[in-house]
Amino acid sequence: MADFCKQCSEHYFDQDFGELAGLTNEQEEKDGLFACVLCEGCGESILVNRSGKRMDKDWQKPEE
């Protein structure tokens, strides 16, 4: 199954399905810890926060 970060989900489907959300908690995020995941839209391994938003660098619109 393909999973998308918050930004890619909103880009491709016009809504955030939260597929990569909930992988970390509030305390981990405060400590600067994020989940390393594969986003099908970004096409690479990225870091996401607890809401599934890409955190490792600025999100750019994927090439289609």
d(CA 58, CA 31): 20
The whole-number pLDDT of residue 64 equals 63
The whole-number pLDDT of residue 58 equals 75
CB atoms within 10 A of CB 13: 11
CB atoms within 10 A of CB 17: 14
Domain chopping of the chain, boundaries: 6-48
The predicted model scores a pTM of 0.86
Split at pLDDT 50, 70, 90, the class of 1 is low
d(CA 44, CA 29): 21
- Per residue in 20-64, pLDDT tens? 999 999 999 999 999 999 999 998 899 999 999 999 877 777 666
